[in-house]
Structure 1
Amino acid sequence: MSLKTLDLVRWNIISIVLGGSIWVLLVLGAWFRWIILNELELLLLLALFVIMPLTVPLVSLPRQSRQFYQLSSLILFLQPFAALIGGVSFLLATGPLAAAFAAVWLLFTGLLTLLGLVRLFQARRTLPDICLAAALLYLPIGSTWMVLARLGLQPLGFGVHTDLLTAVHFHFIAMAALIITGLTGQVIPTTAYTLSRVTYRVAALGVLVNPILVAAGLTLAQVTQLHFLDTAPADLLALSLILIALLGLRFVVPMTNSLLTQVLLLFSYTAVFFTMLFAAAYALGVATGAWTITISQMILIHGLENALVFGFCGLLGWRLRARQDSKGGEKCA
C-alpha cells in the first residue's frame, strides 16, 4: 500500500471512527477504574484520537499545490499511528519510556509545523489564512508539554497538573479555537458591514496572540507570584471567542444548508458563551479573591464542554459543511 493508491479520504474517516471508539473505551476504562487516567489526560487523548483527524483536512489547500498536497497526504496517513503511539504513553508509568512514546507525537506535530509554514507562504496571507497556518505552528508547544508531563519534569516549579493543563490548552487553542476562527473569517463576506469586519479582525488577533500571552503569563506568574499575569490571557481569549461566536451565529449558521450541520455549528458557537464566561469568572476570582472556582470544576465545565461541544461539534460541523460545499461545486473551506 502506498500514498498514491490509498484513498486518504476514507483513511481519514476510518481514523476518526476508530479514534473515537478508542477514546470512548478509554473513558469507560477510567470510569470503571480498569485503567488510571484523569480528566486532563482524557481530554488530551481526545485531541490526539479525534480532534486531530477532524482538523487536518480543514487546512488543506488546492491539490495544485504539489508540496502541500504531498505533505498533507503523509500527515493524514501517519496520524492514526502517531496518535496510537502517543496515546500509549498515558498507559505507561511516568518516566523515560512514557516520554519516548509521547515524543513520537511531538515529532508528528513537527510535520504539522512544516505544513503550517508551507501554508503560510502559499496561501493568500489574509487574517483567516494566517489563523489556520498559526494553528499548526503552535501545536508543538502543546506536544512538548505533553512530553514533559510524561517524563515527570516540572520546569520552573510547575507541577505535573500544570504541565497537562498547558498541553491541553495549546492543543485545543490550536486545533479548535484557531481553526474555527480562521474558517469563520473565510465565510464573512467582503460586503459585510465594516463593524463586522473590524470585529473579526480584533477577535481573530486576540485568538492568534493568545498562546504567546499564555506562555509568557504562566512563566512570569510562576517567577513573580503575580497570578493575574496568567489570568489576563484567559480573559482576552474569552472575549475574543465570544465575538467570533457572535459572528459565526450571524454569518456561518444562516449560510449553511444542511440542518444537521447548522445544529452542530449552532451548538459549537453557543457553547462558547458558557465556557468562556466561566473561564473569565475563574480568572477574575483568582485575581480578586472574591470567589473560588476549583481546577476540578474548571476541567469539568470549561474543559469538557469546550472539547466536546465547541471543539468536536464545531469541527465536525465544518467538515460536513466543507463536504457539502464541495459537492455543490463551491470551494471547500
Structure 2
Amino acid sequence: MQAMLIEKYGKYPLKLADIPMPTVGDHDILAEIHAASINPLDRLVRDGKLRIMLKYDMPHVLGYDLSGIVIQVGKKVEKFKIGDEIYGRPSKGGAFAEYISVHENDIALKPKNLSHAEAASIPLVGLTSYQVLHDHLELSAGQKVLIQAGSGGVGTFAIQLAKAMGIYVATTTSEAGAGLVRSLGADQIINYRTEQFNKLLHDYDGVFDTIGGETLEKAFQIVKQGGQIVSVVGPPNARFGEAVGSGFIKTNVFRLISRKLTKLENKYNVKYSFLFMKPSGRQLEILTEWIESEKIKPVIDRVFPFKEAQKAMEYSESGRAKGKIIVKMKG
C-alpha cells in the first residue's frame, strides 16, 4: 500500500512510499482509509518534540485522524463488521495511508450525517475538547471558560461543545476569525492583535489553553481561586508524569520544566494540568450523538488530495487555516 511517512525526526518533507499492508490483531479492524486530517500533533511528532513521551520506530506514518470503511475484522472483534463506516483517532498514528489496522476500542461508527472528509476532521479535536472540558475542567452549565485560538482546528470544535454543555465561552481570535467564532456561539470575542484577554476577563472557572508560553502564564490572572487551566501544548508537570506512570526520571524532568507554572499555581491558587489526549471509541460515540443532532458541525478549511499531504502540512504550518485541513484518499 502507499503511505506518507517520515524516515527520521526533523523538518523534512513527507515521503510517498510503498509499505507492507498492516497486520491485524485479534481485537483490530483493517480499514480502507477515505480521509484523514492534519493536526499540530503531526508536526510535533515529525520534529521529534514529543520524544520524551512518544518515540516511534522509523519509518513512521503520520496521521492521527481517520474515516474509512472496515474491510477485515480480527478474530475477537465484537463491535464492528465488514462494511461498517468508522472514524477514530489511531493511538499510533498511521492515517496518512491507504489502509490502517486499529484497535476496535479506538474507533466508533461514523456519524450518519457526515461525509468521510467531514468525519475525519473530528476525532482528535473532538476527543481533546471533550477530555479538557468534561473530564479535566469538569465544567457544567452556567460556568465560564476561555478557549484560546477559537478559529483553529481545536477551537472551532471546543466552542461548539462548550455551548452544547451550556457553558459561557470567551475566545481569542484575529479580526478575520471573529465572524466564524461568533457563528459557532462564542459569547465574548477578544481580538488578540489589539486586546489583552488578561485585562478583560476575570473570575473564570477554567481556561482551555492551545497556545502555551506567555499566553499560558497570563491565563492564571483570569481564573478564580480553585479554578483550573488545562493546556494541550504547555509543558507536562509532575502531576501528569505521576498520573501516566512516566517513572522517576521523566517525572522529575517534567517537574523541572514546569516549575514556573507550579509557582503560578501556588500564587493564584489555580490548578494547572497538561493533557495528552487518549483515544476513545466510547467518547466518540457521545460526540456522534451531538453531531447527528446537529449541535456540533465540522469546520473544514481546505481539502487536499492524498499525494499532496506535504502541501497540507505546509498550509497547516502557515497558521492561516480556519478550521481543519483534510487529506482525502478516496473520492
TM-score by length of 2: 0.29
Of Structure 1 and Structure 2, which has the larger fraction of its residues in strand? 2
